[in-house]
Homo-oligomer: A and B are copies of this chain.
Amino acid sequence: MSTGAGTGTAAEDRVFAALANATRREVLRLLRERGPQPVQVLADHFDMRRPSLSEHLKVLREAGLVSEQRSGRQRIYRLEAAPLAEVQDWLHPYERFWRDRLKGLGDLLDRLPDDDRS
């Protein structure tokens, strides 16, 4: 609980809300695939005015998904993946549901709670 990871609070909410928008997910993909980039380069990929992208970047920043580093008059945005690790943590308890289902015994487990063994 050092970083407040996976507690199900406001931080979690901000991350999921940030990921709810396709433009913002695309920004994350660009930063992942092309490395850190200034705003304008990012903006070239979208059919959208720059101020709108700036607001998306703000949402991502407040969710901790990107960081900015000033370099002259540019702001270089960089992917910060740590909150995505928390999403994976959130996802983890669901994993056996799709795994088990693939093995064909999902129906049995679906009818059973899982908190007995937690």
Binding site for B on A (CB under 8 A): 8, 13, 16-17, 19-20, 22, 25, 28, 32-36, 78-79, 81-82, 84-85, 87-88, 90-91, 93-95, 97-98, 101, 110-115, 118
In whole angstroms, how far apart are the Cα atoms of A97 and B98 in the complex?
25
Q: Which residues of B contact A19 (CB under 8 A)?
A: 16, 19-20
In whole angstroms, how far apart are the Cα atoms of A110 and B20 in the complex?
24
**Residue of chain B at shortest CB distance from A17:** B20
- A13-B22, A19-B20, A94-B28 as given contacts; A35 in contact with B84, CB under 8 Å: no
**Residue of chain B at shortest CB distance from A78:** B110
Can you list the 9 inter-chain pairs with the closest CB atoms, starting with the nearest? A81-B97, A20-B20, A81-B98, A33-B115, A85-B98, A84-B94, A34-B113, A81-B94, A16-B20
Are the C-beta atoms of B88 and A84 separated by less than 8 Å? no
Q: Which residues of B contact A91 (CB under 8 A)?
A: 84, 87-88, 91
Q: Which residues of B contact A111 (CB under 8 A)?
A: 35-36
